[in-house]
Amino acid sequence: MESKEDILILAIESSCDETAASVVKNGREVLSNIISSQIELHTLYGGVVPEIASRKHIEKINQVIGEALQEAGVTLDEIAAVAVTYGPGLVGALLVGVSVAKAISFATEKPLVGVHHIEGHISANFIEHKELEPPFICLVVSGGHTHLVIVKDYGVYEILGYTRDDAAGEAFDKVARAIGLGYPGGPKIDRLSREGNPDAIQFPRAKVDGSGYDFSFSGLKSAVLNYLNSCEMKGITVNRADVAASFQKAVVDVLVEHSLNAVKEYGFDKFAIAGGVASNTSLRAAFETACSGQNIEFYYPSPVFCTDNAAMIGVAGYYEYIKGTRSGYDLNAIPNLKLGER
Ligand code: KG4
Ligand code: ZN
């Protein structure tokens, strides 16, 4: 039962190919989390088609919001504020969520709070770890982002490193396509890797000169493609499970090494992961081992809170709301919004 003191946030997320809405209570309790995924539709094209994504969001968004309110058992009257992802992401997709959030905010006279998508991913960790509070270090690994971040306080970030080219999830998706697994590649590589030998092929672990915490995955992707080509030219049958497992290990090794170096250098004892790739079994296991060996508390969200969802936007929106952050009706979709900027 909700009391008058409870702060309920209605959150909306439409930055890529998931139309999602959620009601979050007091920043940590998810009352509903509705996700309408377009994955099947985009699978036909081997990746997300922006124009199709926007149109599907328009078709689904009202229904998804209605379901989120219904499942939470609350009406718009009881909501304190409307939080919405306004970037980064696909501009047409973002605009759908932003427009609907503005309309609800205007009609109900409830405040509007624009939320950064990455801040949402990081905040997903607060849902199931009630004791987790900043400061800590977080690795955000998704289809569009690879960021190593110090979470100094709620909504206060320092970026230590990011990818210079492909995001980790993008590398998974591209390699999956090259070995014929289809979109989205991450979960498929994760599954196939369990049947392969991660030490079968030595793929490169890329370092970025002069910046210890930056990442680069395009060289690794090219190395996999070269390997596949050379096998084909020599008439060697490729063991796809070995390629998947060896590629995955190369990604995991680099992510773990950079993250643990940062946690140690900055003297933290808490470390979290977030984003779609954070649901990778091998990545979780590697961090579990590395952190427990060094007395670092390791946090990760359940898979449903790793990939895109609106509950994480509701959590981030709550902390922005209680800090006094308010967006005007001129809030726009910002496809390349930087973390920490408003
Ligand atoms: O966070 P997310 O849903 O969307 C973005 O904000 O980008 O992440 C989607 C990405 C995709 O690239 C997908 O292949 C990857 O996360 N992913 C995975 C796994 N599950 C999803 N990558 C590796 N292993 C997984 N189990
Ligand atoms: Zn995301």
Q: What is the DSSP string of 163-214?
A: BSSS-HHHHHHHHHHHTT--SSHHHHHHHHHTTS-TTSS-------TT-TT-
Mean pLDDT for the chain? 95
- Residue 237 has a CB neighbour count (10 Å cut-off) of 7
Across the strands, what pairs with 22? 11, 33
Which DSSP letter does residue 327 get?
B
Which range among 36-50, 127-141, 272-286 shows the weakest confidence by mean pLDDT?
36-50
The amino acid that residue 247 corresponds to is: F
Residue 14 CA to ligand 2 center (angstroms) comes to: 10
Which DSSP letter does residue 337 get?
P
* Whether residue 280 has pLDDT greater than 80: yes
- Report the C-alpha gap between 262 and 294 in whole angstroms: 13
Residue 19 CA to ligand 2 center (angstroms) comes to: 12
Q: What is the mean pLDDT of residues 103-116?
A: 98
- Residue 235 has a CB neighbour count (10 Å cut-off) of 6
Is residue 218 exposed (0-12), middle (13-18) or buried (19+ Cβ within 10 Å)? middle
pTM value is 0.96
Q: What is the mean pLDDT of residues 28-53?
A: 89
Ligand 1 atom with the shortest distance to the CA of 282:
24
* Whether residue 233 has pLDDT greater than 80: yes
Which DSSP letter does residue 338 get?
P
Question: Which residue is listed with tokens 């905040």?
Answer: 123
Percent of the residues in the chain that have a pLDDT greater than 90, as a whole number:
89
Inter-residue contact 99 to 341 (CB < 8 Å):
no
Give pLDDT, residue 182: 87
Residue 275 CA to ligand 1 center (angstroms) comes to: 7
* Ligand 1 pocket, residues with Cβ under 6 angstroms: 16, 142-144, 169, 172-173, 184-187, 190, 275-277, 279-280, 307-308
Residue 334 CA to ligand 2 center (angstroms) comes to: 15
Pocket test of ligand 1: the residue of 33, 117, 125, 142 to mutate, having most ligand atoms within 8 Å of its CB, is 142
Pocket test of ligand 1: the residue of 118, 162, 172 to mutate, having most ligand atoms within 8 Å of its CB, is 172
The amino acid that residue 278 corresponds to is: A
Question: Which DSSP helix (H) or strand (E) runs through 291?
Answer: helix 281-293
Ligand 1 atom with the shortest distance to the CA of 169:
12
